[in-house]
Structure 1
Amino acid sequence: MPPAELGSVKSAMRVLDLFEYLRRWNAAQTHTQIAAQLGIPKSSLTQLLKTLVNRGYLEYDPIGKGYFLGPAVVALGQRSAETRDLVEVAENVLAEIARTTSETCALNVLKGDHSEVMATANGTHRLHYSMRVGDMAPLYATSGGKALLAYLPDEMRQDYLSRVHFEAITPRTIGSVAALDNEIAEIRRGGVAFVTEEFTPGIAGMALPILSRSGFPLAAINIALPVARYDAELKQRCLTALEMAVKLIRQRAGVD
């Protein structure tokens, strides 16, 4: 493993060790206590703690001069629970979409720089696109991924755009930050993401985000279908189905 990757792994392990250590204590822990317990050099620990406080993962008690877990850690746990609830609720809704549109649909969630399929229902046409639970794709290449990306908080989205590497998965895959940024703005204006043959030749897709009360994209629900059937009437029917699905999932999962 290259030195840079080893450094990244070590940093990640330190963050996890720190979270687990602080979770065991009811009282805030000082810089000295953390360094001694976890064996992290004080100079490295200072920058790590500063970063985590700035991001909301830790809070600092100026009176006791100690650190404790912040609201962002709690939010991560809540988001995980919300995702599980969404998957359970979405399965029946996806089946209804597939029945009414005859097309394949899926629930996607954010997984690093990718979208991951968490639930799916296949279309009823003999010729249909298939998606499987666990399938992953770059955020920039699919409708579900773009719907998630467009509604990320500005800081997270800009961080992604600053380091994304585009792969020409098909001849129509988007290939520049400027083009992707323009699409993101369009998605945010219209509320829906579209792709045509950007991930799979011959397949078009559309997706809507499922947002938390604070506006974070908990998931995206998409429909994928052959471009040979993709006319104006079917497009509108699919959009209507997606809008109803998002509304139902939010209500049944208690997001509204």
Structure 2
Amino acid sequence: MRADRPMHQLKDQQDLRRVRAADPDFSGTLAKGLMILQSFVRDPRAHANSEFADRLGLPRPTVSRLCRSLQALGFLDHDERLDRYFIGPAAVALGYPYVINTPLLPQLRPAMQSMADRFEGAVSVGVTMDLDVVYVETCAHEQGTLKRPGVGAVRGIVETAMGRAWLAQLPAAERNRFLARAKRERTDEYARSSEGLKASLANHGKRGFAINMGDAGLGVLAVGVASNIRYGPRRLLFNCAVPGYRAKSADLVKTIGPALVQLVNMADRQVGLR
């Protein structure tokens, strides 16, 4: 399919028209239903039909039919008292096959948990999805971090250490195109992260890992490594996040980063032995 924007980043009716003009076989009705579901990724609260219609630029009767269909299939739940829709359990079940088939996760969990306990933080695995990283597993110390990401959590690539590690392994031209688009479409996120992002990319070659010095918010520091493990077309990305009050920036460089590199190297070797 040729389109100006990947399907999972369609924002409204205008985007749909552009995609359908480029690909007559593209299913607009299916895309509209998925766009309603994806509204909950950025804004997980309950929504009224009118909110979906306004946000997506769709006619309210169309939204009503789509929501009723999604409710019948279990992807939405409806609260009659509030007259609002919640994300339904079928959406959770749909992600389960992806998580359980993620390569090596059962074998890696003990090492991830050990590292999380050692540094009193959280060790996560994620994959890229357009401008974001989606978390597929997290092992956390019992007190964890202030922003422990659960399975299915979405964070911007430019503001996460694992996302920056993924960027560092891209060819320069491809990375520059990505960054230009991120700056254009995620203006606030890019502005908040740009200085830390540039420093992390500049030092990745000599360190072997990427760094986030807290620009993602709440004083959480993190290191990230891109593995060689493929899940379909995507690499598994690893992240170790620690609260800033428990660690210093020097700890990321001297101790936590190298420990994460060691964990990822172990995982890469297991794939090589298969």
Query: Which position in structure 2 is the counterpart of 1:173?
Result: 192
CA contact 2:121–2:243 (8 Å) conserved in 1: no
Cα deviation 1:91-133 (Å, max 9, x = unaligned) = 3331222233332110121111111111110123476541201
| Alignment partner, residue 195 of structure 1 | 212
SS in 2 for 1:160: helix
Letter in 2 for 1:173: R
Change (3 A) 1:199 1:9: farther
In structure 2, do the counterparts of structure 1 residues 252 and 230 end up closer, same or farther at CA, with 3 Å as the change threshold? same
Q: TM-score, normalised by structure 1?
A: 0.60
- Once residues 163 and 233 of structure 1 are traced to their aligned partners in structure 2, the CA distance between those partners, rounded to angstroms, is 33
CA deviation digits over 1:40-80, x for unaligned, max 9?
A: xxxxxxxxxxxxxxxxxxxxxxxxxxxxxxxxxxxxxxxx9
Distance 2:261 2:156 in 1: 24
Quickly say closer, same or farther: Cα 1:224–1:180, change in 2 above 3 A. Answer: closer
Which of 10, 15, 18 is residue 7 of structure 1 equivalent to? 18
Specify every segment of 5 or more residues in structure 1 that has no aligned partner in the other structure, as ranges: 17-79
Does the 8 Å contact 1:148/1:217 carry over to 2?
Answer: no
Query: What corresponds to 1:225 in structure 2?
Result: 242
Counting aligned pairs with the same residue, the percent is 17
Contact 2:226 2:236 in 1 (8 A): yes
SS of the residue corresponding to residue 188 of structure 1 reads helix
- Relative distance call for 1:127 and 1:211 in structure 2 (3 A) is closer
Tell me which moved more, 106-115 or 86-95: 86-95
1:253 aligns with 2:264: no
Q: Distance between the aligned counterparts of 1:228 and 1:2, measured in 2?
A: 45
Amino acid at match of 1:218: R
SS in 1 for 2:159: coil
For 1:161 and 1:86, locate their aligned partners in 2 and report how far apart those are by CA, in whole Å: 30
Cα distance in 1 between the residues matched to 2:234 and 2:171? 9
Q: 1:124-203 to 2 correspondence within 5 Å?
A: 124-125=142-143, 129-165=147-183, 166-169=186-189, 173-175=192-194, 180-181=197-198, 183-203=200-220
1:120 is paired with a residue whose SS is strand
TM-aligned CA deviation for residue 241 of structure 1:
2.3
Q: Indicate conservation of the 8 Å contact 1:197/1:204, yes or no.
A: yes
Structure-2 separation of matches of 1:129 and 1:175: 21
Change (3 A) 1:100 1:168: same
Q: Are residues 229 and 211 of structure 1, via their aligned partners in 2, closer, same or farther at CA, if it must alter by over 3 Å?
A: same
Q: RMSD of aligned C-alpha atoms?
A: 3.5
Tell which structure's C-alpha radius of gyration is larger: 1
Describe the shift of the 1:133–1:89 C-alpha distance in structure 2 as closer, same or farther (beyond 3 A).
Answer: same
Which residue type is aligned with residue 145 of structure 1? G
**1:103 corresponds to which residue?**
121
- Partner SS for 2:141: coil
Instruction: In structure 2, give the amino acid aligned to 1:168.
Output: D
Separation in 1, partners of 2:171, 2:273:
18
Q: Does 1:121 align with 2:139?
A: yes
Cα separation, 2, equivalents of 1:111 and 1:184 = 20
Q: Which TM-score applies when normalising by structure 2?
A: 0.57
CA contact 1:90–1:119 (8 Å) conserved in 2? no
Partner of 1:30: none
> Within 1, Cα distance between the matches of 2:252 and 2:161?
17
- Determine the C-alpha separation between the residues in 2 that align with 1:185 and 1:206: 14
2-side partners of 1:255 and 1:137: how far apart?
Answer: 32
Question: Shift of the alpha carbon at 1:187?
Answer: 1.9
State the aligned residue count: 187
- Could you tell me which runs of 5 or more consecutive residues in structure 2 were left unpaired when the two chains were aligned: 1-11, 28-97
Deviation at 1:148, TM superposition (A): 1.0
Amino acid at match of 1:240: P
The separation in 1 between residues aligned to 2:197 and 2:23, in whole angstroms, is 29
